[in-house]
Amino acid sequence: MVKKILIVGAGIAGLSAGVHALRNGYEVEIFEKHDLPGGLCTSWERKGYTFDGCIHRLTGTRPDSQFNRLWREIGALKDVEIIFHDPFMSVENGSGEPLHIFSNLDRLEEHLLQKYPEDRMLIRELSGAARVFAGARFPLEKPDELYKIWDFPVMLVRMMPLFKVMGKFSRTSIAEYFARAKSNSFREAFGLIMPPGYSMISLISTLASLHNRDAGFPRGGSLQFARSIEKRFHEWGGIVNYGCPVKEIRINNGRAVGLLLEKGEEVSGDIVISAADLHHTAYELLGGQYLTPLIKKSFRHFPLYSSVRVSLGIEADLSAEASCPVVRLDIPINAGGEENRYLYLTNYSFDPSLAPAGKAVVGAALYSPYDYWRKEAGNESRYEIKKEQLAEQVITVVEKRFPPARGKIEAMDVVTPVTYERYTNVYKGAYMSWIVPPEEGRFKIPKELPGLKDFYQIGQWIEPPAGLPGSMLTGRHVVQLICSRDGKPFQAS
């Protein structure tokens, strides 16, 4: 008899699990609260402009990379043009030449040595570590749970070159590492590339994948990317029920047996996978019945970050302007209590499909706390005013940084942490899960819960900081686990 798998959520993790489960002979039905696939991986239209709400860099865009094969297994990145903009990011601190994050490590190293000769040792150490990562192959093939004792010698040999780098950097945060820098502007600039609480390994692996040209932007943007996986899911006979929020996971005798939908209907299945936000799954869908100490501890103690994004449709050609400047502000912008001294800008002109001919989309991101926006959202008109006030400050900066944009803004949209929560149930708008303190080492949340059979949880919280590739991988791995429990070999596409 063919087993039926019910999946909560058509984000990247849910779609990935869905495609793999179909490939392995299961019947699959997904229940998604929104009317679109992709979850956090999304974009939307305003007055002919496409505002992208997610991808900055997608790991796996190089045709022969490990992640590329995994993306193609689920129908993504097939015949998609990949766009690379170089430098990937430029920190403009107002004094002299910006710090460019060039993709090529030799070029980056030379540039850093020129700018910060006093930090020669640190620069050499950093680029050396990134080169080691760029040449490495990671054990992505199967979930930890399926590794056998005889897999370890092979894994040890494969991972050998990485051990030294991991040993040196994995328990050090970006902030701790660059605290050693002699140059203040070097220290400050590297604290801007990603949240400084992240482990150095996140920074090193980002530099490595940029160097490998394995972290590009898929033309068409995030929603189109998600739709390509949805297409494969449909082609293989999967069903997605959109506009269909799940209220509860039904449990009988310690087994997950189905779903109760918000609209009151019950659906039964043999296996339930929650690819919805982990906090929502643990506290709402499972009613707090299966909380593990690790889940409780992580939500209680690990930091999160959230941001506001202002997207602008501009009736001007910005194709000659920089792609990703991080601009130092003359007057800091206070976004709900968070003082932003820099503004992260993305000029999407590198992908002309996102704006009408001769026009441009610019996105701006600011750190901003969830709690502030949650409170403001209690009063709708006040919330709208606060969003507009913030957008006005951003527009002033954008018009200064990109002079052709002055007076040419014809579309605008502001997304707060509450918007992310409203559309996807993501906990406190934390779209990259926790910032796991580096001293935690290799951190994972188990996909299965003690005392609950036929239930699995996947998605970005399971292996932080997962992002898109990590979320996709949890979807593949969970089907490998299910196949193993059912005593059948896993078939990849």
Ligand X SMILES: Cc1cc2nc3c(=O)[nH]c(=O)nc-3n(C[C@H](O)[C@H](O)[C@H](O)COP(=O)(O)OP(=O)(O)OC[C@H]3O[C@@H](n4cnc5c(N)ncnc54)[C@H](O)[C@@H]3O)c2cc1C
How many residues does the structure list for the chain?
493
Q: Which residue has the tokens 């945060």?
A: 173
- In the complex, least distance from residue 227 CB atom to ligand X, rounded to whole angstroms: 13
Nearest-CA neighbor of 273 among 464, 22, 447, 463? 447
Nearest-CA neighbor of 394 among 320, 350, 334? 334
Residue 481 corresponds to which tokens in the numbers above? 């686990």
Nearer to ligand X, 32 or 413 (CB): 32
Q: With beta carbons less than 8 A apart as the criterion, state whether 488 and 69 touch.
A: no
Q: Is 468 in the site for ligand X (CB under 6 A)?
A: yes
- In the complex, least distance from residue 241 CB atom to ligand X, rounded to whole angstroms: 9
**According to CB under 6 A, which residues from 287 to 346 bind ligand X?**
309
Nearer to ligand X, 115 or 447 (CB): 447
Nearest-CA neighbor of 308 among 330, 336, 331? 336
Q: Which stretch binds ligand X (CB under 6 A): 87-95, 199-207, 464-472, 483-491?
A: 464-472
- In the complex, least distance from residue 340 CB atom to ligand X, rounded to whole angstroms: 15
Q: Which stretch binds ligand X (CB under 6 A): 37-45, 133-141, 170-178, 333-341?
A: 37-45
Nearer to ligand X, 181 or 207 (CB): 207
Q: Is 32 in the site for ligand X (CB under 6 A)?
A: yes
Taking CA 220 as the corner, what is the angle to CA 198 and CA 276, rounded to the nearest 5 degrees? 50
Q: Is 483 in the site for ligand X (CB under 6 A)?
A: no
CA distances to 43, 70, 240, 326, 350 from 9, rounded to whole Å, are 17, 20, 9, 34, 31
Phi, then psi, of 92 in degrees rounded to 5: -105, 100
Q: Is 277 in the site for ligand X (CB under 6 A)?
A: yes
CA distances to 25, 123, 128, 441 from 175, rounded to whole Å, are 47, 15, 19, 16
Q: With beta carbons less than 8 A apart as the criterion, state whether 15 and 475 touch.
A: yes
Q: Which stretch binds ligand X (CB under 6 A): 127-135, 136-144, 459-467, 481-489?
A: 459-467
Q: Is 363 in the site for ligand X (CB under 6 A)?
A: no
Q: Which residue has the tokens 């002299």?
A: 96
Angle between helices 151-169 and 200-211 (to 10 degrees): 110
Q: SS3 of 429, please?
A: helix
Nearer to ligand X, 40 or 166 (CB): 40
The residue within the footprint of ligand X, chosen from 128, 245, 332, 446 (CB under 6 A), is: 245
Q: What share of residues in the chain are helix, strand, coil (percent, to 5)?
A: 40, 25, 35
Nearer to ligand X, 186 or 348 (CB): 348
The residue within the footprint of ligand X, chosen from 33, 100, 359, 386 (CB under 6 A), is: 33
- In the complex, least distance from residue 433 CB atom to ligand X, rounded to whole angstroms: 7
Angle between helices 120-134 and 200-211 (to 10 degrees): 70
CA distances to 231, 380, 431 from 306, rounded to whole Å, are 31, 20, 7
The residue within the footprint of ligand X, chosen from 40, 333, 445, 483 (CB under 6 A), is: 40
**Which residues contact residue 80 at a Cβ distance below 8 angstroms, ignoring those fewer than 6 apart?**
218, 219, 220, 225, 228
The residue within the footprint of ligand X, chosen from 192, 246, 256, 411 (CB under 6 A), is: 246
The residue within the footprint of ligand X, chosen from 360, 466, 479, 482 (CB under 6 A), is: 466
Q: Is 426 in the site for ligand X (CB under 6 A)?
A: yes
- In the complex, least distance from residue 153 CB atom to ligand X, rounded to whole angstroms: 32
Q: Is 208 in the site for ligand X (CB under 6 A)?
A: no
Q: Is 41 in the site for ligand X (CB under 6 A)?
A: yes
- In the complex, least distance from residue 351 CB atom to ligand X, rounded to whole angstroms: 14
Q: Is 435 in the site for ligand X (CB under 6 A)?
A: no
Nearer to ligand X, 273 or 276 (CB): 276
Nearest-CA neighbor of 402 among 342, 350, 360, 356? 360
Gap between the Cα atoms of 489 and 142, Å rounded: 12
**According to CB under 6 A, which residues from 53 to 112 bind ligand X?**
53-58
Q: Is 11 in the site for ligand X (CB under 6 A)?
A: yes
Q: Is 280 in the site for ligand X (CB under 6 A)?
A: yes
- Binders of ligand X: how many residues, by CB under 6 A? 39
Q: Is 471 in the site for ligand X (CB under 6 A)?
A: yes
Q: Is 387 in the site for ligand X (CB under 6 A)?
A: no
Q: SS3 of 34, please?
A: coil
The residue within the footprint of ligand X, chosen from 5, 6, 7, 9 (CB under 6 A), is: 9
Q: SS3 of 402, please?
A: coil
Q: Which residue has the tokens 């709402």?
A: 284
Nearer to ligand X, 55 or 482 (CB): 55
Nearer to ligand X, 91 or 366 (CB): 366
Q: Which stretch binds ligand X (CB under 6 A): 144-152, 271-279, 323-331, 382-390?
A: 271-279
Helix and strand numbers, DSSP H then E, in the chain? 15, 20
Report the interface residues with ligand X, using CB under 6 A. 8-14, 31-34, 39-41, 53-58, 245-246, 275-277, 280, 309, 424-426, 431-432, 459-460, 466-469, 471
